[in-house]
A = this chain, B = another copy of it.
Amino acid sequence: MNNPIGIFDSGVGGLTVLKEIKKKLPAEKLIYLGDTARVPYGNKSKDTIVRYSIENTKFLMQFDIKLLVVACNTSTATSLRILKETFDIPIIGVIEPGAKKAVEITRNYRVGIIGTEATIRSSAYKEEIKSLNKKISVFSKPCPLFVPLVEEGLLKGPIVDDVIAHYLKFFKNKDIDTLVLGCTHYPLLKSSIGKFFGNEVKIVDSATETSNMVLQLLKEKGIISRRKKALEPDYYVTDAAERFLKVGRTILGKDLEKVAVVHVGK
């Protein structure tokens, strides 16, 4: 029960999920893998993303993890089912929690989803929401420039506002009351996105919802750590750590300790 929780993402975005889990469960040991050598996943094919996701999970399994969090919407959308069939531990993705929350809070049954091309193409959010309440209308829009913007540290200002308007004007006549940020990078653009909608649309951040589900699952299974003190996470990346450290500092608001570069896959 003191075993670690494994978390992987294609890069640095999943740190928004790690941050929320750490806030709720400080005594858990978290091991994070960012596949920075092969980022981004969002514009790659399903077969390739599945292969990468399996390789990432195998890497984390060596630490005898008690729970795996797939902190990447693209991996969750394309690979969660296969991972659950392949590995014999509890696995939580980032899509179900965000979809559930959207279904819970929408009042007019009109929900928007934004994410990478691969996430939107998979229809995973739409299917999840429809399976919970088929009366809800779902409107989806891929926003491929959002991840590069965040990775460049551009979180607000005229360029960000222009790019947000470029994509999100799609929702202007859709009358949505809820928007799901279907990519772990997007919480960093939350205030700029909120501004675009004049804060009339409720924004669901899957990082927060996922951490709630992790807490609940650990409780249900009775495997919450009994440690008394907080632990720092271990970080692994598959390529040069500089950019990871830079964007990581933006996300976590502090320097990351213990980052190691590893080779994952064949």
In the bound assembly, the distance between CA atoms of A158 and B158 in angstroms comes to: 11
> Interface stretch among A14-22, A43-51, A174-182, A251-259?
A43-51
**Contact with A148, one of B48, B148, B162 (Cβ below 8 angstroms):** B148
What does the 1/0 interface line of A19-40 toward B look like (CB < 8 Å)?
0000000000000000011110
A223 proximal to B (CB < 8 A)? no
Could you tell me if A240 and B44 are in contact, using CB atoms closer than 8 angstroms? yes
What is the minimal beta-carbon distance from A163 to any residue of chain B, in angstroms?
A: 6
* A243 (CB) vs chain B CBs: closest residue: B43
Chain A: interface residue total (CB-CB under 8 A): 24
What is the minimal beta-carbon distance from A214 to any residue of chain B, in angstroms?
A: 30
A159 proximal to B (CB < 8 A)? yes
A91 proximal to B (CB < 8 A)? no
In the bound assembly, the distance between CA atoms of A154 and B162 in angstroms comes to: 13
What does the 1/0 interface line of A45-66 toward B look like (CB < 8 Å)?
1001000000000000000000
* A118 (CB) vs chain B CBs: closest residue: B240
Could you tell me if B148 and A159 are in contact, using CB atoms closer than 8 angstroms? no
Taking A43-B151, A45-B239, A148-B148 as known contacts, 17 extra A-B pairs with beta carbons closer than 8 A to each other, sorted by chain A number, are A36-B44, A38-B38, A39-B43, A43-B243, A44-B239, A45-B240, A144-B148, A144-B152, A145-B145, A145-B152, A145-B154, A158-B162, A159-B159, A159-B162, A159-B163, A159-B166, A162-B162
